[in-house]
Amino acid sequence: MDPPPNPNPNATDAQPQAEAGVRLAALSLRGGRDLPPDFEIHEHHLDDDDDDDDDDEGYLTAASRGGSSTCAWKGLRDDDRDGDGDDVSPPSPSSSGYAGERGSSLDDDPDPEPAQDWPRNKKHLDEDDASSSWRKRKKHFFILSNSGKPIYSRYGDEHKLAGFSATLQAIISFVENSGDHIKFVRSGKHQIVFLVKGPIYLVCISCTEESYEGLRGQLELMYGQLLLILTKSVNRCFEKNPKFDMAPLLGGTDAVFLSLIHAFSWNPAAFLHAYTCLPLAQPTRQAASAVLQDVADSGVLFALLMCEHKVISLVGAQKATLHPDDILLLANFILSSESFRTSESFSPICLPRYNPMAFLYAYVHFFDEHTYVTLLTTRSDAFYDLKDSRSLIQNVLLKSNVLIEVQRSLHESALHVEDLPIDPSSQSASQPPQSSQDMSSQSLSSEMAIGGPAGLWHFIYKSIYLDQYVSSEFPSSISNQKQQKRLYKAYQKLYASMHDKATGPHKTQFKRDDDYVLFCWITQDFELYAAFNPLADKTQAIKMCNRVCQWVRDLENEIFVYGESALSWQYHHCWGGK
C-alpha cells in the first residue's frame, strides 16, 4: 500500500503552474471576502522565495524533483483502467502508489501517447452520456448544483453533460420535493449513490460491487475535498443566485479530484478514517516532533511533517485536533497539485472537519521529492513567520538526519508478513519466513502463494485511540494492482459490514470465499483486518491474528506517532501511558 517514489514527470511542469493559476484566479473570483487581502502579494513572494530555497537545499535538485519513468507510466495506465474494477491490470508492482493519479502521464487510452494536455485525455473530454465508452466506465463521480448545473464529472466534458446533469438533478429534486432524500438506486451490478449537501448534489454511479456505505463515504470525502478548496461559504453564492455556476471556481483542480478518486482504490485511510505513519526510530521522530512543537507554540495551529501520505510527525496547538479525514484531504490536495512541489507555497485551504466555514492558511514546503512540511495558521499575513519557522524546522531535520532516516524508512521499514515473529510455542505451524524481496508473480488462487506464516497475506491494524493504522506490505501473492485492489475492496466491505449502523460494531468476523479468508477483530483498543490464503486453517489464522497484534504492540514506538503531540492524552488512555 505504500506509494513508490513519484517520478513526477517534468514534461508538464508548465501545465500545473497554469492550473494553479487558474484555480487561484477562480478563487479570487469570489471576491475579497474569503481570501486574504494580500493574497496575491503572497503569490509574488512565493515566486521570490523559490529560488532562495533551491540554493539553500543542496539536496533538492532538478533530478530529484522530476523525471518521467516509463515504468511508472505503464503503471499509471493500468491503474487508471481498472481504477474501479478488475478488468485490466498487468502486473506492475512499481505503480501501486499514489504517483498514479498525480502524474501528468495519466491516460487510459489503449495506445497512449504522453499527452501534452493530460487532463483532457484523462477525463475523456470527447465522451458524453451518449458515448457507449462513457456508459461503460466502471465508476462515475458527479458533482452538480441543485439547479442541475454540472460542477464536476470524472469522465467527459461537464458542458456536454449538462443534460445528464439535469436528469440527475430531476431525480434528486423529485424525491427531495416529497420531503424525502434519495440514498441509492440499485440495478444489477450498478449502484447509484446520492449525497445531498445543501445546494450541492454528489452522485456516484458504480459497478464496482462496493458497498453503499463505502461509496457514500467516498462522496463525503469528495464533498470534503470541495470544501477544502472552497469552504462551505460557497453556499452563499447559491443563496444569492440559484443558477450560480460553480464549475469555474474549481477550474484546474481536476487532478485533485482524480487523485482522491484514485485513493478510493488504494488508500485504507479513505474508509478507516485513520491515518498512517512512516515507521521511524523513536529518537528520530522525537527530534522532528520537538521542533514542530516549538513551531506550534509560536502560533501555528497545526504543523505536519509528512512523507507522501504518511505522517512523520503531527503537532497541534492546544486543544486543536486534526481529523484523519482532513489529513487525507490535505495530503491529497498538496500531493496532487504540482505547484506545491515546485515552489514554497502559501495557500488558503479549509479543513472541513475542523471548520467547514473558514479558510486556514497553509504554508507548504517540500524538503525533497516525498517529504514536506505543512504549517497551518488562521493568520493570512503569517507567510514570513511561517517561512522562518520552516527554516528552523529544516535546520533541525538536517542536523538530526531526520530526512535521511525518512528516505531510508521509505524504502526499508515497511512491515512484511513474512517477518512476523515466530511464536516459539507453535513453530510447527509456521512456514519459514520468506524473503520480502521475492516478488515472483504468484496466482492469487495458488495454494502455494507465498505469504506469512499460516497463509497470512496481509493485515491492517488500526489503533482506535490514536486514529492511526498500520498495514503490511503486499506479499508476492498479491503483487499486481488488480489483486491489490480486489483485496482493498474486500477490506472495505468487511469494514462496512463490521460497522453497520443498525447492528454494529460487531466483535469478530470470519469470512471465507474463493479469494481469501478474511478476519476482523474489533476491541475497544484496536481493529484488526487480516487476509489469508483461502485455504488457511481457522485455528492457525486466529493464532496469527494474535501474533500480529503482539507484533504491532512491540513495534508501536516506531510505527505510531504519539506522546509528543496534542494527541498524547489519547495515547495514554489507550496504552496506559507506557
When computed from its CA atoms, the radius of gyration of the chain, rounded to whole angstroms, is 23
Nearer to another protein, 159 or 181 (CB): 181
Is 446 a binder of another protein (CB under 8 A)?
no
Nearer to another protein, 150 or 252 (CB): 150
Is 190 a binder of another protein (CB under 8 A)?
yes
Is 523 a binder of another protein (CB under 8 A)?
no
Tell me phi and psi for residue 52, to 5 degrees.
Answer: -55, -45
Is 159 a binder of another protein (CB under 8 A)?
no
Coil, strand or helix at 59:
coil
Is 506 a binder of another protein (CB under 8 A)?
yes
Cell readout for 306 is 509528512
Is 174 a binder of another protein (CB under 8 A)?
yes
Residue 256 · residue 263 · CB < 8 Å: no
As a whole number of angstroms, the distance between CA 46 and CA 40 comes to: 10
Tell me how far, at minimum, the Cβ of 173 lies from another protein, in Å.
8
Total number of residues that touch another protein (CB under 8 A): 47
Is 167 a binder of another protein (CB under 8 A)?
yes
Nearer to another protein, 181 or 573 (CB): 181
Tell me phi and psi for residue 304, to 5 degrees.
Answer: -125, 130
Is 87 a binder of another protein (CB under 8 A)?
no
Which residues have C-beta within 8 Å of that of residue 61, sequence separation ≥ 6? Answer: none
* Part in contact with another protein (CB under 8 A); list of ranges 155-163, 391-399, 417-425, 536-544: 536-544
Is 440 a binder of another protein (CB under 8 A)?
no
Residue 453 · residue 429 · CB < 8 Å: yes
As a whole number of angstroms, the distance between CA 228 and CA 246 comes to: 15
Which of the residues 112 through 151 are near another protein (CB under 8 A)? 129, 135
Is 180 a binder of another protein (CB under 8 A)?
yes
- ∠ CA 189-192-196, rounded to 5°: 160
Is 512 a binder of another protein (CB under 8 A)?
yes
The single residue among 198, 242, 505, 577 that binds another protein, judged by CB under 8 A, is 505
* Part in contact with another protein (CB under 8 A); list of ranges 168-176, 248-256, 271-279, 366-374: 168-176
Which residues have C-beta within 8 Å of that of residue 569, sequence separation ≥ 6? Answer: none
Is 178 a binder of another protein (CB under 8 A)?
yes
Is 546 a binder of another protein (CB under 8 A)?
no
Residue 375 · residue 361 · CB < 8 Å: no
Is 500 a binder of another protein (CB under 8 A)?
yes
CA dihedral over 331, 465, 456, 548, signed as positive or negative: positive
Question: Any idea of the CA torsion for 103, 97, 409, 52, to the nearest 10 degrees?
Answer: 10
Residues that bind another protein in the complex, under the rule CB under 8 A? 129, 135, 167, 170-171, 173-175, 177-190, 192, 205, 207, 209, 212, 493, 497, 500-514, 538-539, 542
